[in-house]
Structure 1
Amino acid sequence: MRLILPVLLAVSIAFPALSGPVSFGNGWSEQRLKLFSSNDYSFGDNLGIRSDGSVSLAWTRLAQSEWGTRAATWVWSVEQSVPPTDLARKGGDDRNISLYFVFLPEDQAEASAGAGIRSLLGNDQVRVLQYVWGGNHDPGQVIPSPYGPAGQGATVALRQAGTGAYTEDVDLTRDYTAAFGGTPGALVGLAVSADSDDTDSAIRAALGRLVLR
């Protein structure tokens, strides 16, 4: 991450802090998606990501004070990229970075306080909105997730596969409504993944300056 993180920090200098940024230090843990496959995450103020023909995700629960989040901003960078893929294709949808926003109806959020990510994803009331750098889709396209129960997850394509460093500013309410209809409930968790196993390729990336508002 020595080459990526300085770029990420340089981009963030001109990035306005609307409230305190989310730290990628304490509270984050890795969840394997396959038994013998794991990425290498560098946790701290920023999240460094190294993926070599592998897939996994890092995730955290959010405090109740963040449940009302309706927008987000962040900076991310990619130094080494997977090739373009079809994000609608299960088992062929490698991507550099996915940032997941995990929602539950407010009347269920408190009851799920001790649930892990696997338990949450097994709840048919959970909705997962993910923003992706990767694939071959037009920016802004909303793609139903090929994983999990139908209607539970949706992908918003932000950037096609490639390298660089960018800032993002997303309207969670707008994108949630476009993906699922209705309005989002409580934002109970965040996750970040990198996926390079289907193309047996490599990712060197980082994400930081994540601000919820």
Structure 2
Amino acid sequence: MIRVLVLALAWALSGVAGSAEQIPFDETWKEQGFLRLFSNEYTLQGARMGVVSDGTISVIWRPIDAKLGQARTASWNWRVDQSVVATDLTKKGGDDRNLAIYFVFVDAETAQKLTRKTARKLLRSPSTRGLVYIWGGAQTRGTAHPSPYNDALSVKILRGVGTGSFSETIDLAADFQRAFGQAPEVLVGVAITADSDDTDGRIAAEISNFQIK
């Protein structure tokens, strides 16, 4: 227990309290495909990223620097020009959504040991917890529930299906406490996905000005 507390303190001191950083869309982002499916198209343009999903699904992943491990809020702009239809995101299968942004946390001791290069390895760790913010689904805006694929992921609907352009600011600490009954520890990565394979739909979208602090 003492060792865990010491490691947590070390991570906390590794960053500047209250500092904010814009997360660039650059070569640091790596696509994590699914073997049986075709991949989405991601266009990395520095301050923004375009996404086209045409009957496809994949995840693009970025590890977070240790100095931002204690980040507790995030903000971004997102736009959808083509949308999939509404689906039930509480059930496996048939659960397409326009965009989903994942924030992945682990405990301080695990953060020292795990590689952050792939999302799949992190998600296999028993200490991993994730918050998923979604544009899509048939549920009411603000609805939150466990992912049907993994109880360690908590899903929150920020926007329903349809097109438009919006700015979001989220409280990671409050949402984590609500979902898991405890404060988050170390943020180790973020991921973005667009999902149109189940309904054979098409998504054209963009995310920009992505910041965490």
Q: Structure 1 length as normaliser, TM-score?
A: 0.88
1:97 to 96, 99, 104: 99
Deviations 1:41-80 (A, max 9, x none): 0012211000000100100111100100100010000000
Q: CA deviation at 1:154?
A: 1.0
Give 1:193's aligned residue: 193
Counterpart secondary structure, 2:179: helix
Q: CA deviation at 1:116?
A: 1.8
8 Å contact kept, 2:83–2:161: yes
Question: Aligned AA for 2:199?
Answer: T
Give 2:156's aligned residue: 156
Give 2:34's aligned residue: 33
Deviations 1:125-170 (A, max 9, x none): 100110000001111111210113xx31110100001100000000
Please, which runs of 5 or more residues in structure 2 have no aligned partner? Answer: 1-18
Q: CA deviation at 1:115?
A: 4.9
Paired with 1:200 and 1:113, the residues of 2 have a C-alpha distance of: 34
Question: Aligned AA for 2:130?
Answer: V
Counterpart secondary structure, 2:22: coil
Change over 3 Å in CA distance of 1:34–1:88 after alignment to 2: farther
- The yes-or-no answer on 1:88 pairing with 2:90 is yes
Give 2:174's aligned residue: 174
Q: Percent identity?
A: 39
Paired with 2:186 and 2:157, the residues of 1 have a C-alpha distance of: 23
Give 2:3's aligned residue: none
Give 2:208's aligned residue: 208
Please, which runs of 5 or more residues in structure 1 have no aligned partner? Answer: 1-17
> What is the RMSD computed on CA atoms of the aligned residues?
1.2
- The size of the alignment, in residue pairs, is 194
Paired with 2:22 and 2:50, the residues of 1 have a C-alpha distance of: 16
Question: Aligned AA for 1:40?
Answer: E
Q: Structure 2 length as normaliser, TM-score?
A: 0.88
8 Å contact kept, 1:87–1:143: no
Counterpart secondary structure, 1:85: coil
Paired with 2:81 and 2:200, the residues of 1 have a C-alpha distance of: 17
Counterpart secondary structure, 1:23: coil
Question: Aligned AA for 2:106?
Answer: L
Give 2:24's aligned residue: 23
Bigger Cα Rg: 2
Paired with 2:26 and 2:59, the residues of 1 have a C-alpha distance of: 15
